[in-house]
């Protein structure tokens, strides 16, 4: 058919820069649906997040040769995430990430005993932290906002705390996480995302992890005792194995950390004049050509090399009957030092150290933590 001399032509609308879709990942506590959200960009970067634990379950990136790999450790189903030995894969961690010494916090001269779930200390929010609840959700354009109300004295922390975490993949392949929280009482808040990265692929293990070149923008670390509790002292990284200000292959330093089987330390991020988006770290995997940069507004980053994941039986020198098995996506066995975390956050145990950045959230104020993971292929 013709009109005004022009044929009718069926024109397909252009594909959006990023597509977002929702489906069900599984069930939690009987019939409660766990929702999964998947973003996909035009350049074939794909990110998945589920409402259980507000957890990042998958990040797929093309490599220099075009091959697409999933670069974060995780599980294929809810059974994996409910496994007691799940080491916080991809989860939103809180109310207080990292450690609290002696499981005690003091706010305005009032001392609270919080859950001691790692010896005499507290770790990652206690026995039932934010990683172990199914969050409410709301879709706003290309963002997914997940919400959780942590009740007064949950795990020992004061105040009703309303937390909102938004997730978004942008058209230039930046994955954005934005944490916000308000409280009805003075309380302590320190949230983070606990994704485990291996840019070679989630199943490639320590052999490929050691090839990664890591750069961290920090000139100090917080000194810790034998239980990884900060002493309050800051240690310069100059002339030590912790100096990662120049890109360094992990294989050259991962086995040289005094008293540790890899890094598990808070790096004090160097602060610029505009703290709203600070360069935190860059990691590059030469074989695949994949690179990731991390930006945040937080004063610290816990750089962790998955030291507490079960050890490879072929390398274990002790009683093998005591080894646990951690089976991840696609039936892959995950082993010690097979991935790394960049947990942007306040300094650990900050509430108990007057010389550390402020850690108390007061009613009327808003806790705000942003982190951006920017992906590249060289």
Q: In what order do the strands lie in the sheet with 300-304?
A: 230-236, 218-224, 264-269, 300-304, 341-345
The reply to whether 285 belongs to the active site is no
Task: From the candidates 194, 202, 265, 369, give the one annotated as an active-site residue.
Answer: 194
Known binding residue 21? Answer is no
pLDDT over 90 percentage in the chain: 87
DSSP of 31-100, one letter per residue? Answer: TEEEEEEEEEETT--EEEEETBTTEEEEEEEE-TTS-EEE-B---SSHHHHHSTT---TT-EE-SB-SEE
Q: Is the pLDDT of residue 4 over 50?
A: no
The residue with greater pLDDT, 181 or 272, is 181
Please tell me what DSSP assigns to residue 252: G
pLDDT confidence tier of residue 320, bands split at 50, 70 and 90: low
Exposure string over 244-282, b if 16+ CB within 10 A, otherwise e = beeebebeebbeebeeeebbbbbbbbeeeeeeeebebbb
Known binding residue 99? Answer is yes
Q: Is the separation of the CB atoms in 143 and 112 below 8 Å? A: no
pLDDT confidence tier of residue 29, bands split at 50, 70 and 90: confident
CB under 8 Å, gap of 24 or more: what pairs does 117-124 form? 119/227, 120/227, 121/227, 121/229, 122/96, 123/98, 123/99, 124/88, 124/93, 124/94, 124/96, 124/97, 124/98, 124/194
Q: Is the separation of the CB atoms in 43 and 60 below 8 Å? A: no
177 burial (CB, 10 Å; 0-12 / 13-18 / 19+) is buried
pLDDT in tens, 62-116: 999 899 999 999 999 999 999 999 999 999 999 999 999 999 999 999 999 999 9
What token pair was written down for 267?
A: 């790096």
What's the rounded Cα separation, in Å, for the pair 360 and 14? 48
What token pair was written down for 179?
A: 């944490």
What's the rounded Cα separation, in Å, for the pair 152 and 112? 12
Cβ neighbors of 181 (< 8 A, separation 6 or more) are: 161, 162, 163, 164, 189, 191, 361, 366, 367
Q: Considering the domain 18-377 in this protein, what is its CATH number?
A: 2.70.98.10
What's the rounded Cα separation, in Å, for the pair 340 and 45? 20
What separation, in Å, do the N-terminal and C-terminal C-alpha atoms of the chain show?
49
Known binding residue 131? Answer is no
The reply to whether 168 belongs to the active site is no
- The residues spanned by each domain of the chain are 18-377
pLDDT confidence tier of residue 378, bands split at 50, 70 and 90: confident
Q: Is the pLDDT of residue 24 over 70?
A: yes
Exposure string over 183-203, b if 16+ CB within 10 A, otherwise e = bebebbbbbbbbbbbbbbbbb
Known binding residue 58? Answer is no
Task: From the candidates 121, 212, 343, 369, give the one annotated as an active-site residue.
Answer: 343
Write down the pLDDT at residue 76: 97
Neighbour tally for 323: CB within 10 Å: 14
Cβ neighbors of 199 (< 8 A, separation 6 or more) are: 61, 71, 212, 283, 284, 285, 288, 290, 291, 292
Q: How many Å separate Cα 168 from the centre of its chain?
A: 15
- Name the CA radius of gyration of the chain, rounded: 21
Write down the pLDDT at residue 299: 96
pLDDT in tens, 38-67: 999 999 999 999 999 999 999 999 999 899
Write down the pLDDT at residue 12: 57
Known binding residue 349? Answer is no
DSSP of 131-157, one letter per residue? Answer: GGSB-EEEEETTEEEEEEEEPTTGGG-
Average pLDDT value over all residues in the chain: 93
Q: Work out the average pLDDT over 225-252.
A: 97
Q: Tokens 């990284």, residue?
A: 237
pLDDT over 70 percentage in the chain: 93
Known binding residue 194? Answer is yes
């Amino acid at each position: 058919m013709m009109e005004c001399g022009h044929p009718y032509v069926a024109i397909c609308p252009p594909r959006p820069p990023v597509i977002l879709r929702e489906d069900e990942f599984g069930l939690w506590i009987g019939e409660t649906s766990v929702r999964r959200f998947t973003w996909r960009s035009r350049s074939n970067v794909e990110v998945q997040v589920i409402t259980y634990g507000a957890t990042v379950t998958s990040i797929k990136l093309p490599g220099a040769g075009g091959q697409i790999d999933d670069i974060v450790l995780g599980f294929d189903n809810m059974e994996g995430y409910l496994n007691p030995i799940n080491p916080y894969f991809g989860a939103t961690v809180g109310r207080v990430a990292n450690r609290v010494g002696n499981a005690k916090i003091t706010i305005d001269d009032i001392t609270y005993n919080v859950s001691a779930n790692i010896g005499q200390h507290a770790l990652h929010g206690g026995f039932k932290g934010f990683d172990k609840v199914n969050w409410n959700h709301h879709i706003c354009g290309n963002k997914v906002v997940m919400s959780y109300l942590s009740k007064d004295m949950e795990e020992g922390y004061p105040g009703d705390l309303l937390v909102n975490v938004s997730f978004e993949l942008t058209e230039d392949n930046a994955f954005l996480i934005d944490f916000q929280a308000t409280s009805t009482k003075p309380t302590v808040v320190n949230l983070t995302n606990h994704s485990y990265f291996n840019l070679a692929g989630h199943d490639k293990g320590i052999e490929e992890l050691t090839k990664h070149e890591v750069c961290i923008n920090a000139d100090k670390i917080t000194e810790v005792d034998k239980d990884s509790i900060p002493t309050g002292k800051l240690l310069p990284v100059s002339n030590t194995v912790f100096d990662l200000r120049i890109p360094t292959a992990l294989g050259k330093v991962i086995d040289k950390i005094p008293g540790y089987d890899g890094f598990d330390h808070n790096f004090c991020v160097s602060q610029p004049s505009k703290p709203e988006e600070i360069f935190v770290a860059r990691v590059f995997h030469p074989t695949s050509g994949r690179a990731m940069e991390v930006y945040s507004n937080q004063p610290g980053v816990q750089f962790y090399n998955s030291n507490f994941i079960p050890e490879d039986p072929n390398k274990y020198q002790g009683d093998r009957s005591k080894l646990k098995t951690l089976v991840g996506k696609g039936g892959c066995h995950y082993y010690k030092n097979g991935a790394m975390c960049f947990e942007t956050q306040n300094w650990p145990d900050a509430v108990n150290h007057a010389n550390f950045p402020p850690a108390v959230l007061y009613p009327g104020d808003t806790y705000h933590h942003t982190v951006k993971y920017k992906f590249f292929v060289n």
